[in-house]
Amino acid sequence: MPEPPRDCLLCRPADADRFFGRTRVWSDRIWRLSVVSHGPVVGFAHLEPLRHIPHITDLAGPEADSFGRVLARVTRVLRDVTGAELVYAYVFGERVAHFHVNLAPHHDGDALQGGPAMLRPEAVGAPAADHLATAAAITRRLADAASRQDV
């Protein structure tokens, strides 16, 4: 396994905790969960693998095998502890190239806006034909992968 990049902040969890102003609240041999202690969203958290994995598209091995179970468990706990209606889970990996999921408990009327508010107001819808062609290509690719048992 290659060494993680020296500049990966999330590979240095104590530094990451200080930088993001967060507290590590749970970990196992594969994952860790840290809760941010400032900002408008109480309970905002980061779920990240201990091992350096650059992006979700690189997820494999024990991290891939356990991701769904761990994500369901920690979001349930965040929802229950904060009294949230739901927990947004989103992945943006451009600033920190170490796979992580941002988890944001949401209450009606709080600071969060889901749905179309995540898009630029001037964004133009892609043509329907592009959406349909992409869906068909994904269907084919996943069917091929299933036949090879890659999914």
Q: What is the pLDDT of residue 137?
A: 83
Global pTM reads 0.81
In this structure, are residues 48 and 98 in contact, taking their beta carbons and an 8 Å threshold? yes
What is the number of domains present in the chain? 2
In this structure, are residues 97 and 8 in contact, taking their beta carbons and an 8 Å threshold? yes
Range of the domain at 57: 9-118
* Whether residues 137 and 76 fall in one domain: no
* Whether residues 21 and 68 fall in one domain: yes
Q: pLDDT digits over 49-86, tens only?
A: 999 999 999 999 999 999 999 999 999 999 999 999 99
* Whether residues 78 and 151 fall in one domain: no
Mean pLDDT of the region 90-104: 87
In a domain? residue 4: no
Handedness of CA 138, 98, 88, 32 (dihedral sign): positive
Q: What is the pLDDT of residue 112?
A: 84
Taking the CA atoms of residue 121, residue 127, residue 132 and residue 136 in that order, the dihedral angle to the nearest 10 degrees is -90
* Whether residues 62 and 103 fall in one domain: yes
* Whether residues 114 and 129 fall in one domain: no
Position 92 confidence tier, pLDDT thresholds 50, 70, 90: confident
Collapsed DSSP state (helix, strand, coil) of residue 19 = helix
